Structure 1
Amino acid sequence: MKIQSPPFLYGQQGLQQSQRNLEQANQEVAQMATQTFDRVQPKELDAQQGSIEESLMEARQATRNAQSNAQVIDGSNKAIGSLIDITV
């Protein structure tokens, strides 16, 4: 008997999306960090710093979303385990 749990599936999908978002944010930070700033005017440098900060915040948000989705998966596993214990 295969037991499918919608919360588990939603948590898994959310975890995968969080991973994609984290990879994208990290890539943006890495690209901005490796650019040469000697050709950049001060105003442009400030704009790039803001972008780096935004990307770092997006990375942090993706990490928190991943943690939340992992808790959903854990809760779903515990609920399924309880149901199996009851029916056995």
Structure 2
Amino acid sequence: MKIQNPPFLYGQQGLQQSQRNLEQASQEVAHIATQTFDRVQPKELDVQHGTIEEGLMEARQATQNAQSNAKVIDGSNKTIGSLIDITV
């Protein structure tokens, strides 16, 4: 019998997306910090990049999303474990 576990897959995909978002936010913070460190005036900063605060908020959001997706994976594993215990 094949057991399909969509919540586990959704949690895994969400975790991967959270990791990509965290990497992107970290790169953005590093880019802005580098420009600021090089003493570029704020009005000369690259328009496509926000502020360090925005980047840090995005990083925090990605971290919280990752934690939520990890809970989905954990709950899914527990559910499958209990199903296997019942059917054995």
Per the TM superposition, whether the score is higher than 0.5 is yes
Deviations 1:9-45 (A, max 9, x none): 00000000000000000000011111112x41xx528
TM-score, length basis structure 2? 0.85
- The residue correspondences of 1:34-49 to structure 2 (distance < 5 A) are 34-35=34-35, 36-37=38-39, 39-40=40-41, 44=43
Sequence identity (%)? 79
Following TM superposition, by how much is the alpha carbon of 1:70 offset from its aligned partner in structure 2, in angstroms?
A: 0.0
- The reply to whether residue 23 of structure 1 matches residue 23 of structure 2 is yes
- For 1:81, the equivalent position in structure 2 comes to 81
- For 1:33, the equivalent position in structure 2 comes to 33
Number of equivalenced pairs = 84
Gapped runs of 5+ residues in structure 2?
none
TM-score, length basis structure 1? 0.85
The letter of the residue matching 1:60 is R
Aligned-residue Cα RMSD (Å) equals 2.1
The letter of the residue matching 1:31 is H
Q: Give the secondary-structure state (helix, strand or coil) at the position aligned to 1:20.
A: helix
Counterpart CA distance in 2 for 1:3 and 1:51 is: 46
**When you count helix as a share of all residues, which structure comes out higher?**
1
Counterpart CA distance in 2 for 1:34 and 1:2 is: 51
Gapped runs of 5+ residues in structure 1?
none
